[in-house]
Amino acid sequence: DGGITQSPKYLFRKEGQNVTLSCEQNLNHDAMYWYRQDPGQGLRLIYYSQIVNDFQKGDIAEGYSVSREKKESFPLTVTSAQKNPTAFYLCASSRRGTMFDQPQHFGDGTRLSIL
């Protein structure tokens, strides 16, 4: 079955440490996204990529970095510059459209906590 796989499901970060969250999709989608979800809040866009080797900052990109070397993969690094990294991180993908107007399909998330 086609879908989006996020790993790991749970991740713990020590102070001053960078951690990388994995996101892989086999839906043949061009566009991929990273969102952050905090308790009682909607999803907020961190980064997105409409095509390989290109990505754009979302609304809350500070303290995060991404790469898009392959169509199937869009890893997110949470750097030590992100002072409040504890959250549920969601990856999504979609067909490439205009102005985010294509249905987005989500993975089951990675929960990141601070040790």
d(CA 33, CA 93): 6
For position 54 contacting other proteins by CB under 8 A, the verdict is no
Residue 42 engages other proteins in binding (rule: CB under 8 A): yes
27: left (phi over 0), alpha (psi -120 to 50) or beta: alpha
Q: How many CB atoms lie within 10 A of CB 53?
A: 9
Q: Rule CB under 8 A: is residue 101 a binding residue for other proteins?
A: yes
Q: How far apart are CA 19 and CA 58, in angstroms?
A: 19
Q: Are 75 and 4 in contact (CB under 8 A)?
A: no
Task: Based on the shown chain and the rule CB under 8 A, indicate whether residue 105 belongs to the binding site for other proteins.
Answer: yes
By CB under 8 A, is residue 43 in contact with other proteins?
yes
Query: Considering CB under 8 A, how many residues would be counted as binding other proteins?
Result: 25
Under the binding rule (CB under 8 A), the answer on residue 95 touching other proteins is no
Instruction: Tell which one of 32, 34, 104, 112 touches other proteins (CB under 8 A).
Output: 104
- Which spans of this chain sit near other proteins (rule: CB under 8 A)? 4, 6, 40-45, 48, 56, 58-59, 90, 92, 98-101, 103-109
